[in-house]
Amino acid sequence: AVSAGVVIAGLIIWQTGVTWIDPAVSIVIAVLIFWQTWGLLRETVEMSLAAVPRGIEYDQVEEALIALPGVARIHDLHIWPMSTTEPVLTAHLVMPAGPPGDAFLGTARTMLHERFGIGHATLQIETGLDCTLAAPGSV
């Protein structure tokens, strides 16, 4: 489209001598390029700021993790994009009964993938002992 615009503008200038066509076509081409790349620019900025990816609701993920059997509470939940298409999650799950085993982790990861599209999750199981990351104001 860009090359065609340049060629057509050149032909119009050559045939008519109307030279203002060149900057007008250049502006139209610049607007088209900006319009077509805006989504990628927005996704790139969000990724570089480590924002929660679009389409994932932080509160819903938190509620889904707390609803897992044996989970009393959750803290240090972070969701960010590893790329424009791959979200990542880390969280501390407090389970007073102790670590439930690999089957629980597999179920949790499957749920995160199926419900939220999160394919890479790191879940730390805690038994309720004080975690320095659970303190108010910690990140």
Q: Give the model confidence (pLDDT) of 124-133 as tens digits.
A: 999 977 676 6
Question: Does the pTM of the predicted model rise above 0.85?
Answer: no
In eight-state DSSP terms, residue 7 is H
Which residue is listed with tokens 């620019």?
A: 41
Q: What is the pLDDT of residues 60-102, one digit of tens each?
A: 999 999 999 999 999 999 998 888 788 999 999 999 998 888 9
Burial category of 100 from C-beta neighbours within 10 Å (exposed 0-12, middle 13-18, buried 19 and up): middle
pLDDT at 114: 96
Q: What is the dihedral of CA 49, 56, 123, 67, to 10 degrees?
A: 150
Mean of the per-residue pLDDT values for the chain?
87
CA distances to 5, 31, 48, 66 from 11, rounded to whole Å, are 10, 22, 43, 66
**58-134: which CATH topology?**
Alpha-Beta Plaits (3.30.70)
Span(s) in the chain for CATH 3.30.70.1350: 58-134
d(CA 59, CA 73): 13
pLDDT at 137: 60
